[in-house]
Chains A and B, each alone.
Chain A
Amino acid sequence: DAMVIQNPRYQVTQFGKPVTLSCSQTLNHNVMYWYQQKSSQAPKLLFHYYDKDFNNEADTPDNFQSRRPNTSFCFLDIRSPGLGDAAMYLCATSRDVSATGTGYTFGSGTRLTVV
């Protein structure tokens, strides 16, 4: 089945130690998104890629970076994780930026713990 896969499901990292989260998709969608979701809060968009074009949200901290080496993969890099960065990180895809129809397809998320 076509899907969005995130690895790992759970990630524990040390305060200040760089960490990378991975997302892959078999849907051949043009757009990939990264959302941050803290407990009982709304998912918050960090950035998205439309094909190779990177689009950062205005309030996304510089500590968060992303790479998309090809259509299928997208990575979220946290350069110096703080305790406040502990959250569920959700990867999503859509065929284009209009996201009509079924909206986005989400992966199962990576739960990040910072110790």
Chain B
Amino acid sequence: EDQVTQSPEALRLQEGESSSLNCSYTVSGLRGLFWYRQDPGKGPEFLFTLYSAGEEKEKERLKATLTKKESFLHITAPKPEDSATYLCAVQAAGGYNKLIFGAGTRLAVHP
């Protein structure tokens, strides 16, 4: 069964304190791995898509990496406005390619 597990569930950082969020997955053939940001009471907002092991994508203070079993979202020198829930989702190859989400990591960055 395709599955996505994110850790930690919640993370509290001081402004400027870099860290990483983890997304472990099991899927029968990976078509793509997606990272989304979700603010309270809002829908997920697309951040990155990764397709193959070794791939990296960057956007401002965020960098996403991918291996055959997991993905990391690295946050460098975070600011309070980076506070949100970060969701990881995978899309399996073959058949109907729905997105399977993890439960997310709730990130709080304090000044």
Per the bound structure, the CA–CA distance linking A22 and B41 in Å amounts to 17
Q: State the CA gap A104–B44 with chains docked (Å).
A: 9
- Determine the distance from Cα of A95 to Cα of B43 in the docked complex, in whole angstroms: 18
For the complex, give the distance between the alpha carbons of A105 and B31 in Å: 18
Question: How far, in Å, is B36 (CB) from chain A's closest CB?
Answer: 8
The 10 closest A-B pairs by CB, nearest first: A106-B43, A42-B101, A103-B34, A42-B103, A43-B101, A106-B44, A109-B43, A102-B46, A108-B43, A108-B42
Q: Is the CB of A103 within 8 A of B49?
A: yes
B45 within 8 Å of A (CB atoms):
yes
Q: Which single member of A48, A103, A105 contacts B89 (CB below 8 Å)?
A: A103
Q: Which residues of A contact B46 (CB under 8 A)?
A: 102-105
Residue B75 interfacial (CB < 8 Å): no
Q: Quick one: which of A44, A45, A100 contacts B32, CB cutoff 8 A?
A: A100
Which residues of B have CB within 8 Å of A42? 4, 87, 100-104
Docked complex: A43-74 residues within 8 A CB-CB of B: 43-45, 48, 55
Closest Cβ neighbor of B44 among chain A residues: A106
Is A83 in the interface zone, CB < 8 Å from B?
no
Q: List 15 A-B contacts (CB under 8 A).
A: A42-B104, A43-B44, A43-B87, A45-B99, A55-B96, A88-B41, A97-B96, A99-B98, A103-B49, A103-B89, A106-B36, A106-B43, A106-B44, A109-B41, A111-B41
A6 to B42, CA, bound (A): 11
State whether the Cβ of B52 lies closer than 8 Å to any Cβ in chain A. no
* Interface pair A98/B31, CB less than 8 Å apart: yes
When C-beta atoms are compared, the residue in chain A nearest to B10 turns out to be A40
B residues within 8 A CB of A98? 31, 97
Tell me the complex Cα distance, A45–B27, Å: 17
**Contact with A107, one of B36, B43, B104, B106 (Cβ below 8 angstroms):** B43
Q: Scoring A residues 3 to 23 as 1 if CB is less than 8 Å from chain B, else 0, what string do you get? A: 010100000000000000000
User: What separation, in Å, do the CA atoms of A43 and B4 have in the docked complex?
Assistant: 12
